[in-house]
Amino acid sequence: MNNKRFVRIVAVVLAILMLLSVVMIALTALADTTASARVTQGQIDQLRNEKRDLERQKREIQSKINTIEFERRTEIAKKEILDQRIVLTGLEIDNVNSVIAQYNILIREKEYEVYLAQGRENDQLAKYRNRVRAMEENGLISYLEIIFDSTSFSDMLARIDAVADIMRADEAAYLSLIDARNETEAAKDDLEQAKEEMDEEKAYLEEKELELLEQLDEAHALILRMEGDIQGQKELRAMVISDEDRIQKEINAAVAELARQQELERQRRLAAQQNRASASAGTQSGTITGTGELMWPASGAVTSGFGVRTHPVFRDLRQHNGIDIGAPHGATVVAADGGTVITSTYNSSYGNYIVISHGNGMTTLYAHLSSRSVSVGANVSKGQQIGLVGSTGISTGPHLHFEVSVNGVRVNPTSRL
């Protein structure tokens, strides 16, 4: 009797272990497929933290705009603050686009999880149906026949245990089917949640895009008010001319300094090469020299050429030291040639602007950017993205102001493109 009880206990334990192994295998497979999704969710959380930081910065800027001190500022100072707000809104839009891109990845992963879970459920369902058909064909009578056909009492006990094992296996198959269905439903729920969250981000993106348009209109209206103020025009004109001259001097000084550093680096590498008497001893300085042939830095038509023109803000005839390329706000700006970034900053006249030295005395300047994606000292390749089109600084609308200088003298960019 004790032996019989012991055998039954062992059978129950084995059945439980088999059931647990099936569940563990299913859970392990699910964990393997969702590992990358957890990483992606972490990236989304990080982007949301960045979004909260941008929102905080915008609140700080907006508080400045709402104060009396803002009204007391000069028009130029007001434009700088409005530009800061526009830049932050643009960064928010970039952030939301990144979140949406991550959700697209997450949704594809969740769809794959649903596919795998559905496959496991179908396999368990097929196995369970086979067991049900076997039960219908055999039934209780077949089980009794197995027992009654025993040749001895001990043989009968063994057959009873075998039948019990079969019935427990049937129950395990049913439980495995239920687990598989639960996994499928959970995967589907996760997928729907990801889709709903992405739809919320898309709605938020539309809101921010409308906000950006309103902010651009406000900044442009400020420029128009400056047009109507004769005294303000005189002061602004003087500032722009002064900035243009000063920036060109800074470019020339930066080019000279870069050439000096490159020469020192060349001499250092030459000395190291000679000392080690091996070609492998010398290392590259990391600088990039341009090809001398420029490509268009942005897609769009020339809306204002090089030379004497009527200034869009001051309405007077004056030298235009570059070309204006019409492009929508946020359009990609690329390096016209390979080189080293020698300037990446903000200026009241040029707004966000970048200057690249291409070697052989040539530099290019990209102004009124909504954002800059390279910093001073960075080496850029021809066609590499360096920023986005904007309307920062003294600008009447989104466009790229593009200048080319050769040996410190501005030249017509179209002659080099």
The residues, any chain, with a CB within 8 Å of residue 251's CB and separated by 6 or more, are 342, 343, 355, 363, 365, 405, 408
Q: Are 348 and 390 in contact (CB under 8 A)?
A: no
Q: Is the pTM of this model over 0.85?
A: no
Beta-bridge partner residues of 359: 362
Look at residue 180 and tell me whether its pLDDT is greater than 60. Answer: yes
Q: What is the pLDDT of residue 63?
A: 78
Same domain? 140 vs 125: yes
pLDDT value at residue 11:
47
Q: Which of 30, 205, 199 is nearest to 109 (CA)?
A: 30
Q: Is 359 helix (H, G, I), strand (E, B) or coil?
A: strand
Phi-psi region of 360 (alpha: psi -120 to 50; beta: other; left: phi over 0): left
| 161 has a pLDDT exceeding 80 | no
DSSP character at residue 390:
B
Q: Which residue in 344, 165, 316, 124 sits closest to 247, CA to CA? A: 344
Instruction: Tell me which DSSP letter residue 279 carries.
Output: G
Pairing of strands 302-304, 399-406: unpaired
Do 387 and 359 sit in the same domain of this protein? Answer: yes
Provide the token pair at 323: 């070309």
Q: Are residues 384 and 251 in the same domain?
A: yes
Report the number of distinct structural domains present in the chain. Answer: 2
Of residues 105 and 6, the one with the higher pLDDT is: 105
Please tell me the least confidently modeled range out of 86-95, 127-136, 141-150, 207-216.
141-150
Residues 34 and 168 in one domain: yes
Give the tens place of pLDDT for each residue, 283-312. 344 567 788 889 999 999 999 898 876 655
Identify whether the C-beta of residue 196 lies closer than 8 Å to the C-beta of residue 129.
no
320-378 confidence digits (pLDDT tens): 889 999 999 999 999 999 999 999 999 888 999 999 999 888 999 999 999 999 999 99
Same domain? 345 vs 404 = yes
Contacts of 203 (CB under 8 A, 6+ apart): none
Q: Examine the domain organization and report whether 174 and 240 are in the same domain.
A: no
Tell whether 44 and 81 lie within a shared domain. Answer: yes
Residues 183 and 249 in one domain: no
Whether residue 404 is predicted with pLDDT greater than 90 in this model: the reply is: yes
Element containing residue 385 per DSSP (H, E) = strand 385-389
Last residue of a domain, one of 166, 198, 226: 226
Report residue 34's pLDDT band, with 50, 70 and 90 as the boundaries. Answer: very low
Q: Distance between CA atoms of 263 and 260, rounded to whole angstroms?
A: 5
Query: pLDDT digit string (tens) for 228-278?
Result: 665 556 666 667 777 787 888 888 888 888 888 887 887 887 777 766 654
| Confidence label for 33 from pLDDT (cuts 50, 70 and 90) | very low
Q: What is the pLDDT of residue 141?
A: 43
